[in-house]
Chains A and B, each alone.
Chain A
């Protein structure tokens, strides 16, 4: 099969404008007859469902949480990028496009990324109109801050709760459409199968998580907005319920999976404390605006941070990357932290942590405040107090969260941080129209592979989720549905629905009848350990081969020894989790295969065999300038297809942040 990415012809700058001007439309009367299913209600799902509802389509939206407002987009902290150039610091659509392409280490599609940058400004307008309370300056205009991998200030934010505020905006737009009857909401429902009729996506089988009943739902098209798969590692910054199940079911029904090995390890998370750990908590990248990262210059230094003198500290990011300093992209910062800890310079009891220190930022802000108040020669204590107030206003909620979790006050003692799994750049392969290889099936937001290449820049996930939902899918869906207006809504007693439902019900029965002795949680932890050790921040061929064997053995064990208490036909969170872990196990194997075939290092994918002399990622552009799109061929069998990436405008070079 030859992958057709359907990139419109013409100049990069005009592709999307041309597309919008020439794409097919569906007239209002026909829209009322067309049903669309949306899976997931995070930024991508809620914005898509609301926008399509406004346009007149009949939308059904599904989420596994008790309310659409709880989708994990809510936890995004730092901000959202947009090429507004409000700071007059030289930003432009092209520069945002360029930074994103470069940040992704030249493994994303130019046309998609340019479109993302081009619609970014409209996202901010839309969100402000909805009442999203972004941070503002005293003059009443919007405030911006910097994020990693860029040299301009283009990040809009709402304290450390930007994702929450954007999601609430999209959620309210969605609830309005629910009130108007344009969207039907199915909370506490999980998609467990895709239904295809004559090769096209025509519906889903969903399980009502409260009653355990299976339901059939028809849709002319199905949109997967179900997020990423970071929980394959067990420990990640994802919510406990975040899962790959909807995307994996679609994959097994013909949707290719793009670049599954591209996962993002976020540099600033609170370190693991013990085996009891259920998740890891992110400390926003925005903290790197003001926090300085360091370790002692001496190996195995057990002194307290306060006892280590300035000249005994190694600010290793500032040392290695003077141009970007603490604001290098995430993959670079994560690897640098791992390198220091592996070499024996780590801090804290586990020695698997580095310091993120605000002392100099507090003094710097304090001096500015003291100056404003005519206290230029104030004593250090007064300056410190003034500076602390400034830092509190910027990051107060994050500092409080850190203290609740660790019991340490980060104003007094530097934060201890370590990298953790955060985001997955890989996902279902989609064309320019966000359609997967199954006609009528789309993937939006983190669920698709499209815009971030091998590494996502900070504050770009929120941008992409909302770009896909508010500004892309309303056009591209119509362009395809225009050919479907004669298709009547299908009754769900169609044999395709019956067959899909039987598959789901057989699988659930099989899971429940194993009655083994090991808990779902335990299997999940074991999978996570294999993935983190062998397909984590650094990978090599030998480790990946071992991981594939170990995962296959784990899969066998799972299907013969998992213990799921309770019944099928009731509220059974253990059964929900079991289905998700079973899918994660299969995905884990594919991730290792993908990492194994990619004999290069790029972005978040670091193969130890491919590095420069000073330990930077070494790409192999002549061989691997492609998207690996995997086709499911049956149990543990996958076939790789390539979408070659053509760089018409940007010339890939080795990324340098020095």
Chain B
């Protein structure tokens, strides 16, 4: 692949901690190879800051191969930047031209408070899973795996929903900061499988209740979540969640939830 180097102006959100007031800070970086990933470009910036005896920009990242869900930058007004179906760590610098200005912010949502610079607290997602995002089976209780055939297309659909990496881009992209795509992906993953059937009503009711408790907004069918989701989680999951939820509430079976 042909490559060259570029220089950029970065406007990055800086915030000392959860209580401090944040502001944008402007940096210039040079000699950025177009073969770098977006986070490697930040590595260059941070090395530069350390050399100048300044504090580097804090950002969440770990696997750098698009699967752990840690990275979470809001780039020029888009969660994970301009590439479709791509996490921040997989966005590469060949997207940019010499002299470009890039604005980088953390996820913005009341339920994701900023901890430092570009790092937010996403533990609300874990608490939603705690409310019911599982199948209640203890270790050692399982029957033979092939005793329960599952239609291929159902298994595939379940897998497509289970591909969610819990990064929170859906919330960051939504004008209402709704977590419906995240919740619906988990409800769909489990509701599509026969193993998940016994708890499906309680699950959807409890997860929705927890989502509301965490302060996430309501879904108004805008679709920004699907557009920005790095794993291509479909809006159809939200429709399925609504059916699951209504079915559970109207059947009255969710009382002991």
Q: A67-B123, A276-B43 are in contact. Are A571 and B66 (CB under 8 A)?
A: no
Q: Which of B133-149 contact A (CB under 8 A)?
A: 133-146, 148-149
A399–B62 Cα distance when bound, in Å, is: 21
| CB-based contact A404/B63 at 8 Å | no
Is B98 located at the chain interface by the 8 A CB criterion? Answer: no
| CB-based contact B130/A66 at 8 Å | no
Query: Which of B123, B133, B142 is A66 in contact with, Cβ under 8 Å?
Result: B123
Query: Which of B65, B126, B152 is A138 in contact with, Cβ under 8 Å?
Result: B152
| CB-based contact B50/A131 at 8 Å | no
| Interface segment, one of B52-60, B233-241, B244-252 | B52-60
Least distance between B144 CB and chain A CB atoms (Å): 6
Q: A408-B1, A521-B47 are in contact. Are A74 and B145 (CB under 8 A)?
A: no
Least distance between B6 CB and chain A CB atoms (Å): 13
A282–B61 Cα distance when bound, in Å, is: 17
A164–B68 Cα distance when bound, in Å, is: 8
A179–B125 Cα distance when bound, in Å, is: 13
Q: A70-B68, A276-B40, A519-B47 are in contact. Are A142 and B146 (CB under 8 A)?
A: yes
Number of interface residues of B (CB under 8 A): 83
A277–B43 Cα distance when bound, in Å, is: 10
| CB-based contact B43/A521 at 8 Å | yes
Q: Which residues of chain B are within 8 angstroms of A101 by Cβ–Cβ distance?
A: none
Is B227 located at the chain interface by the 8 A CB criterion? Answer: no
How many contacts A-B (CB < 8 Å)?
224
Is A498 located at the chain interface by the 8 A CB criterion? Answer: no
Is A278 located at the chain interface by the 8 A CB criterion? Answer: yes
Q: Which residues of chain A are within 8 angstroms of B83 by Cβ–Cβ distance?
A: 404
Q: Which residues of chain A are within 8 angstroms of B44 by Cβ–Cβ distance?
A: 276
Q: A571-B17, A573-B58, A574-B56 are in contact. Are A179 and B149 (CB under 8 A)?
A: no
Is A428 located at the chain interface by the 8 A CB criterion? Answer: no
A276–B143 Cα distance when bound, in Å, is: 49
| CB-based contact A141/B146 at 8 Å | yes
Is A173 located at the chain interface by the 8 A CB criterion? Answer: yes
Is B219 located at the chain interface by the 8 A CB criterion? Answer: no
| CB-based contact A129/B137 at 8 Å | yes
Q: Which of B53-97 contact A (CB under 8 A)?
A: 53-56, 58, 60-70, 83, 85-86, 90-92, 94
| CB-based contact B133/A172 at 8 Å | yes
Least distance between A476 CB and chain B CB atoms (Å): 14
Is B11 located at the chain interface by the 8 A CB criterion? Answer: no
A187–B49 Cα distance when bound, in Å, is: 28
| CB-based contact B60/A66 at 8 Å | yes
Chain A residue with the shortest CB-CB distance to B41: A276
Is B224 located at the chain interface by the 8 A CB criterion? Answer: no
Query: Which of B37, B115, B163, B165 is A278 in contact with, Cβ under 8 Å?
Result: B37
Q: Which of B167-184 contact A (CB under 8 A)?
A: none
Is B106 located at the chain interface by the 8 A CB criterion? Answer: no
A508–B123 Cα distance when bound, in Å, is: 27
A277–B33 Cα distance when bound, in Å, is: 10
Q: Mark B20-47, 1 if CB is under 8 A from A, else 0.
A: 0000000000000101110110011011
Q: Which residues of chain B are within 8 angstroms of A563 by Cβ–Cβ distance?
A: 50, 53
Q: A66-B121, A404-B83, A566-B55 are in contact. Are A130 and B135 (CB under 8 A)?
A: yes
Is B13 located at the chain interface by the 8 A CB criterion? Answer: no
Least distance between B211 CB and chain A CB atoms (Å): 15
Least distance between A487 CB and chain B CB atoms (Å): 25
A573–B116 Cα distance when bound, in Å, is: 11
Chain A residue with the shortest CB-CB distance to B190: A131
Is A252 located at the chain interface by the 8 A CB criterion? Answer: no
Query: Which of B35, B65, B145, B155 is A281 in contact with, Cβ under 8 Å?
Result: B65
| CB-based contact B43/A141 at 8 Å | no
Q: Which of A123-147 contact B (CB under 8 A)?
A: 124-131, 133-142
Is A406 located at the chain interface by the 8 A CB criterion? Answer: yes
Chain B residue with the shortest CB-CB distance to A172: B134
| CB-based contact B141/A407 at 8 Å | no
A158–B150 Cα distance when bound, in Å, is: 14
Q: Which residues of chain A are within 8 angstroms of B10 by Cβ–Cβ distance?
A: none
Q: Which residues of chain A are within 8 angstroms of B85 by Cβ–Cβ distance?
A: 400
Q: A66-B122, A274-B35 are in contact. Are A407 and B135 (CB under 8 A)?
A: no
| CB-based contact A239/B136 at 8 Å | no
| CB-based contact B155/A72 at 8 Å | no
A69–B167 Cα distance when bound, in Å, is: 11
Q: Which residues of chain A are within 8 angstroms of B119 by Cβ–Cβ distance?
A: 66, 571
| CB-based contact B60/A164 at 8 Å | no
| CB-based contact A86/B146 at 8 Å | yes
Q: Which of A271-319 contact B (CB under 8 A)?
A: 273-274, 276-279, 281-282
Q: Which residues of chain B are within 8 angstroms of A158 by Cβ–Cβ distance?
A: 159
| CB-based contact A125/B130 at 8 Å | no
A125–B150 Cα distance when bound, in Å, is: 14
A522–B133 Cα distance when bound, in Å, is: 42
| CB-based contact B62/A133 at 8 Å | no
Least distance between B172 CB and chain A CB atoms (Å): 15
Q: Which residues of chain A are within 8 angstroms of B47 by Cβ–Cβ distance?
A: 519, 521-522
Is B131 located at the chain interface by the 8 A CB criterion? Answer: yes
Q: Mark A599-622, 1 if CB is under 8 A from B, else 0.
A: 000000000000000000000000
A404–B93 Cα distance when bound, in Å, is: 11
| CB-based contact B68/A72 at 8 Å | yes
| CB-based contact A176/B139 at 8 Å | no
A159–B152 Cα distance when bound, in Å, is: 13
Chain A residue with the shortest CB-CB distance to B195: A131
| CB-based contact A131/B62 at 8 Å | no
A634–B133 Cα distance when bound, in Å, is: 47
Is A90 located at the chain interface by the 8 A CB criterion? Answer: no
Query: Which of A125, A135, A566 is B143 in contact with, Cβ under 8 Å?
Result: A125
Q: Which residues of chain B are within 8 angstroms of A66 by Cβ–Cβ distance?
A: 60, 70, 119, 121-123
Q: Which of A26-61 contact B (CB under 8 A)?
A: 47, 50-51, 54
| CB-based contact B135/A172 at 8 Å | yes
Chain B residue with the shortest CB-CB distance to A76: B67
Chain A residue with the shortest CB-CB distance to B165: A164
Least distance between A561 CB and chain B CB atoms (Å): 13
Is B129 located at the chain interface by the 8 A CB criterion? Answer: yes
A471–B40 Cα distance when bound, in Å, is: 40
Q: Which residues of chain A are within 8 angstroms of B165 by Cβ–Cβ distance?
A: 164
| CB-based contact B142/A168 at 8 Å | no
| CB-based contact B166/A67 at 8 Å | yes
Is A240 located at the chain interface by the 8 A CB criterion? Answer: yes
Q: Which residues of chain B are within 8 angstroms of A70 by Cβ–Cβ distance?
A: 62-63, 68-70
| CB-based contact B66/A401 at 8 Å | yes
Query: Which of B17, B67, B68, B159 is A133 in contact with, Cβ under 8 Å?
Result: B159
By a beta-carbon cutoff of 8 Å, the part of chain B in contact with chain A is: 1, 3, 16-17, 33, 35-37, 39-40, 43-44, 46-47, 49-51, 53-56, 58, 60-70, 83, 85-86, 90-92, 94, 115-116, 119, 121-123, 125-126, 129-131, 133-146, 148-152, 155-156, 158-159, 162-163, 165-166, 189-190, 193, 195-196
Subset of 16 A-B contacts with CB under 8 Å: A66-B122, A72-B63, A75-B63, A75-B67, A126-B139, A136-B150, A142-B146, A161-B163, A276-B35, A276-B40, A470-B139, A471-B139, A563-B50, A565-B55, A570-B17, A571-B119
By a beta-carbon cutoff of 8 Å, the part of chain A in contact with chain B is: 47, 50-51, 54, 65-70, 72, 74-75, 84, 86, 122, 124-131, 133-142, 158-159, 161, 163-165, 168, 171-173, 175-176, 178-179, 185, 187, 210, 239-241, 273-274, 276-279, 281-282, 400-401, 404-408, 470-471, 474, 519, 521-522, 563, 565-566, 570-571, 573-574
Please name 4 further chain A to chain B contacts, defined as beta carbons within 8 Å, in addition to the given A172-B134, A279-B64, A519-B50, sorted by A numbering: A129-B135, A131-B134, A165-B159, A276-B33
Q: Which 3 A-B pairs have the closest CB atoms?
A: A140-B149, A172-B134, A125-B142
